Amino acid sequence: MTLIKNISGFRGTIGGENNINLTPVDIVTSIAGFSKLIRENNPNNNNLTVMTGRDGRKSGEMIQNIVNSVFSSMGINVIDAGLSTTPTLCWGVLNNDSVAGLMITASHNPEEYNGLKFFNAEGEFLSREDVTKVIEYSEQKTYDFAVNGSLGKISTYGNLIDDHIDAIIKLDILPLKEIKELNLFVLADAINSGGAVALPKLLEKLNIRYKIINSEIEGVFNHTPEPLAENLIDLSQEIIKNNADFGIAVDPDVDRLVFFDEKGKILGEEYTQVFCSDFVLSTKKGNTVSTLSSSNALKDLTESYNSNYYFTPVGEMNVVKKMKEVNSVVGGEGGGGIIYPELHYGRDALVGVALFLGLLVKKECKVSDLKGNYPEYFMKKLKVSLKDDKIIEKVFKDITDTYSNLSPNTDDGVRIDFDKGWVHMRKSNTEPIVRIFSESNTQSHADELALKIQKEIVSLSD
């Protein structure tokens, strides 16, 4: 895979040639470039400290050793949090004296991938301008490395997940006493990564009985890590077999979350933010934010509370920016990402679990009855691989012209709203493909809309 550098970070398959895959040389230049940006953004700070963490991939420890050494060689101190989660690292950067954070993860990609996620002093993704600088600096030929007396110190801290969970437990919004009295039993798929450490700690604090599957952290994922129904068949079966009250699945860096009911049925990653947002809005009314590719269910829910819903281009950075602009009380992305700003501005599956339990306290119903409380929508998600991704912009323009009477939104790819549904097509930030999302009030119509656009994209690219 070609090494990808964009607003979501740097990502690629491990090994091979420099600038083509993610190699030790690419890691060195990337961290040296990030270090240069950190120094530019903190010109009067002579005691800079960054925090680093990694998910459960086989290559993670090797990469973290390189990352820490390069920061030190650039005169920057390091707090090594070891095996962690992305939201834990983000929370940690925000609540310590760190000026930046670096998470080693390829998120939902398979185990042969790894990547670098860059965060600022608030524990948030870098701005587009800063990412552009890191990309530029990572491609320099020379760097200003520190002399012997100015090398950064590397220290380790092994309690960051505990600190993060303690902060969740202390959130004012949570009805802790009532949650602890629910007497629930939960099945969770930790996909052999940081969730295998974090989820038990959280559930124990909330007095929730649990069983974790795929809990071994040995650098191998027992199934394709993206938390979709087709990858979570074992979890579904285990829920039924163990008579669990509901199920939880996360991705390797624990920023995405999906729920299953007691019958082993997935509730859909789009509904994670709906469930969590409903609990937040029932306690504190306010605006919500999600992306162009997210379900209209959140929009409908928000408006039922007489509040305003806003959508943004795909990407956590875009969602967070809008959340701050409109003082949103909750937000996220339809792929199972929930952002609760009272804790930090980042997608956080752990706080999502806590908010979901708060919802169960309020609703006093079985998890299988939850979706009946919300508008029902159906989605279809497709991918199109093009021989030459340079023609994507022309394809998008042609489709925009074809549907000009429907006033397509072109803030991020193209979104077209039809009478009974919508389609959003965009170039992926992490793979050389076009993603197509559609939604309607029936599955057949959602399928029809997505397949129609897929056919048009293929035809226009021939």
171-228 pLDDT tens trace: 999 999 999 999 999 999 999 999 999 999 999 999 999 999 999 999 999 999 999 9
Confidence of residue 430 (pLDDT cuts 50, 70, 90): low
Quick: pLDDT tens for 40-82. Answer: 999 989 899 999 999 999 999 999 999 999 999 999 999 999 9
380 vs 392: CA distance, rounded Å: 21
Q: Does the fold of domain 164-257 match that of domain 4-158?
A: yes
Quick: pLDDT tens for 153-187. Answer: 999 999 999 999 999 999 999 999 999 999 999 99
Decide if 418 contacts 408 (C-beta within 8 A). Answer: no
Residue ranges of domains in the chain: 4-158, 164-257, 270-373, 378-461
Q: Which CATH number fits domain 270-373: 3.40.120.10, 3.40.190.10, 3.30.420.40, 3.30.70.1170?
A: 3.40.120.10
Q: What percent of the chain has pLDDT over 70?
A: 99
Decide if 226 contacts 189 (C-beta within 8 A). Answer: no
DSSP single-letter state for residue 448: H
CATH 3.40.120.10 fits 164-257, yes or no: yes
CATH of domain 378-461: 3.30.310.50
How open is the CA angle 207-213-219, to the nearest 5 degrees?
Answer: 120
339 vs 345: CA distance, rounded Å: 6
What's the rounded mean pLDDT across residues 282-286?
Answer: 95
CATH 3.30.360.10 fits 4-158, yes or no: no
Residue 428 has a pLDDT of: 77
| End-to-end C-alpha distance for the chain, whole angstroms | 23
Query: Is the entire prediction scored with pTM above 0.75?
Result: yes
Confidence of residue 390 (pLDDT cuts 50, 70, 90): confident
